[in-house]
């Protein structure tokens, strides 16, 4: 918690965090230290009631992370496949007040192979919740292609570290 708080305090941009958040107390503590949003993944599959309660208590501050492979939701740090369809899961949260869906095609995450445009477009078309795309974004063209699907944003990590995407250029191009 201390490291997260130090990062939030050091930055002047909104921050969100996901991974291992499993209860309301943890959600409350993270939001109280200044995080803009929390991302709930495995717990959204295993305890959707917690997501609903958190979204009600913290409007606009709860995101559901849907990590999928072959259209099926992966959980527990991608070590298990739940058997639930990614779109089916997104639809389950449509009326709960969730701020967004972070949709990751884990077969492409970190691979620098380009995002799964088709699956992302299907998620955007099927869900009434804003979708943030992740997985495989490696160049500006990927961001342009994703923007045409109607996503509200994209997550990229390795491309920034590797220098294949210039953040300032990407922002200028897309905003």
Q: How many angstroms separate the CA atoms of 48 and 115, rounded?
A: 27
pLDDT at 110: 66
pTM for the model:
0.93
Q: Could you tell me if 144 and 174 are in contact, meaning their C-beta atoms sit under 8 angstroms apart?
A: yes
136 pLDDT more than 70: yes
pLDDT at 80: 66
Closest CA to 146 of 88, 98, 105: 105
52 pLDDT more than 90: yes
* Helix (H/G/I), strand (E/B), else coil: 6: helix
Grade residue 82 by pLDDT with cuts at 50, 70 and 90: confident
Percentage of the chain beyond pLDDT 90 is 85
Q: How many angstroms separate the CA atoms of 26 and 6, rounded?
A: 17
Q: How many angstroms separate the CA atoms of 38 and 52, rounded?
A: 13
pLDDT at 11: 96
């Amino acid at each position: 918690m201390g490291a997260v708080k130090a990062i939030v305090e050091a930055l002047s941009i909104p921050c969100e965090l996901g991974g291992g958040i499993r209860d309301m107390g943890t959600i409350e503590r993270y939001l109280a230290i200044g995080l803009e949003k929390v991302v709930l993944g495995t717990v959204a599959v295993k305890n959707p009631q917690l997501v609903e309660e958190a979204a009600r208590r913290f409007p606009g501050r709860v995101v559901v992370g849907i990590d999928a492979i072959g259209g099926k939701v992966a959980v527990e740090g991608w070590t298990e496949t739940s058997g639930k369809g990614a779109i089916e899961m997104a639809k389950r949260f449509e009326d709960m007040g969730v701020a967004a869906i972070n949709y990751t095609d884990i077969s492409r995450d970190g691979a620098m192979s380009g995002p799964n445009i088709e699956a992302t477009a299907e998620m955007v078309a099927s869900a009434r919740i804003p979708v943030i795309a992740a997985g495989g974004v490696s160049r500006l063209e990927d961001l342009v292609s994703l923007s045409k699907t109607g996503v509200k944003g994209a997550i990229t990590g390795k491309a920034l570290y590797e220098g294949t995407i210039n953040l300032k250029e990407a922002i200028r191009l897309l905003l």
